[in-house]
Amino acid sequence: MPTNQKIKIKNYSARIPQWKKIDKEIQQLTQLYNQIDPGSIQTFNDFPLSQKTLDGLAKSGFTNPTDIQREAIGVALQGHDILGAAMTGSGKTLAFLIPVLECLYRARWTINDGLGILIISPTRELAY
């Protein structure tokens, strides 16, 4: 080994494990759920959502919630049931799915855990 070559040594002991970061994020988000005020929500970033969900929304082009999303997401994150009615294309599906994804994130659900969500929705023909 040449004497003029420097050896790089990395110290990993100061790094916080990823699972500890996720646990801390989940704890912080959960504490904010009861403080959600739909009237003050202007963007999805105003909701206490995981960074993964916020990144996915931004990547998909979603920045501002619709009225049904603004009203429903906070209620669902608090663990309450939702019965919402809104026009086609108003964002009802996303208003339902965001809290479901957040629930799976808080539960640290992985593909190894099996089925995490089963959504059964009647078609328009069955609604009459």
Task: Name the percent of the chain lying above pLDDT 70.
Answer: 87
**How many domains, the chain?**
1
126 within domain boundaries? no
89 within domain boundaries? yes
Query: pLDDT tens for residues 60-83?
Result: 999 999 999 999 999 999 999 988
What pLDDT is stored for residue 95 in this prediction? 95
| Average pLDDT of every residue of the chain | 87
27 within domain boundaries? no
Please give the angle made by the CA atoms of 100, 128 and 97, to the nearest 5 degrees: 10
106 within domain boundaries? yes
Q: Model confidence at 15, in pLDDT bands (50, 70, 90)?
A: low
63 within domain boundaries? yes
Amino acid of residue 94: L
Question: Worst-scoring range by mean pLDDT, 7-16, 76-85, 91-100, 103-112?
Answer: 7-16
74's CB contacts (< 8 A; 6+ apart) are 33, 36, 37, 38, 41, 47
In CATH, what number is assigned to the domain containing residue 53? 3.40.50.300
Structural domain for 52, as ranges: 39-110
Report yes or no: 51 and 29 within 8 Å, Cβ to Cβ.
no
56 within domain boundaries? yes
Query: pLDDT tens for residues 22-73?
Result: 888 889 888 989 889 989 999 999 999 999 999 999 999 999 999 999 999 9
76 within domain boundaries? yes
